[in-house]
Structure 1
Amino acid sequence: MSRSKSKTLATWLAFLGGPLGLHRFYLYGLGDMLGWMLPIPTALGLYGIERIASYGIDDQISWLLVPLLGFTIAACALTAIIYGLMAPEKWNARHNPQLAPDALPGCTRWLTIFGIVASLLIGTTILMASLAYSFEHYFQYQIEEARKISQ
């Protein structure tokens, strides 16, 4: 018999451990391919941060890698919000089919709501910071290239 899957735990795992695939492993087991793929953009983004520390802010490869981390964190925060806001009947039908539609693991509790709020605050902040970082460096690169052409 399989164990029931808690919506609250899945919400927090998606928020805190989503970039490592922890929520996917919790819900679908260790054979989940997406769970194993999620650490790849996370590791690449962390490598981009390491490149900034080593080569400075002007490293073009880090401009591409760092937003991968931000977008992965933001996507996992969105997943946490989706999990937290899912109706108990839909949650239990999808993840706990052996239980009644209104069973306790699918219910929304205060801890679930705190996970949704934290995901919304942190996820949107990281998404906006990633977009700002990407656009700023892209336009700085364009200005520098235009300056080279004009000389």
Structure 2
Amino acid sequence: MKNKTFATWLTFLGGPLGLHRFYLRGLGDLLGWMLPMPTALGLYGIQRVQAFGQDDVLSWLLVPLLGFTIAGCALNAIIYGLMSREAWNGRFNPGADPEAPAGGTNWLTIGAVVAALLIGTGVLMASIAFSFQRYFEYQIEEGRKISQ
């Protein structure tokens, strides 16, 4: 029986590593194995920012990968947390009764949804702001080069 509360927290906290996919679909899940790639590339982008500063073009392409992966996993946690008991059990506990308690919502589930909403939104907005700021600064610098 796949527990909805545990899956929601696992998606929120370990989603960028694909842990929720392994819990829900098993170790053979391809997307679960692919999720750490943009996470690792984003972390590499953060290391490049620390080493080379914010003017490094590769870093401002890589950093948003981490943010968008975290935001996507937070959105997935919200979807899991708000799924009805019948839908959850039908999808992840197909042999169980549609009213089985594993698909139930409690306060811990709602806490995970609220945390995912707060953190996911903040990370998404920061990723978008960082991306657009770096893009427009790059465009201004290229425009200055052309005008000189």
CA RMSD in angstroms, aligned pairs only: 0.4
TM-score normalized by structure 1?
Answer: 0.97
Count of residues paired in the alignment: 148
Q: Percent identity?
A: 72
Question: What is the aligned partner in structure 1 of residue 106 from structure 2?
Answer: 109
**CA distance, structure 2, for counterparts of residue 102 and residue 84 of structure 1:** 16
**3-state SS in 2 of match to 1:8:** helix
**Structure 1 residue 136 corresponds to structure 2 residue 141:** no
Question: What is the aligned partner in structure 2 of residue 71 from structure 1?
Answer: 68
TM-score normalized by structure 2?
Answer: 0.99
Deviation at 1:98, TM superposition (A): 1.6
Counterpart amino acid of 2:130?
A: Y
Question: What is the aligned partner in structure 2 of residue 95 from structure 1?
Answer: 92
Question: What is the aligned partner in structure 1 of residue 40 from structure 2?
Answer: 43
Q: Which 5+ residue runs of structure 1 have no aligned equivalent?
A: none
Question: What is the aligned partner in structure 2 of residue 7 from structure 1?
Answer: 4
Q: Which 5+ residue runs of structure 2 have no aligned equivalent?
A: none
Task: Find runs of 4+ consecutive structure 1 residues off by over 4 angstroms.
Answer: none
**CA distance, structure 2, for counterparts of residue 54 and residue 13 of structure 1:** 32
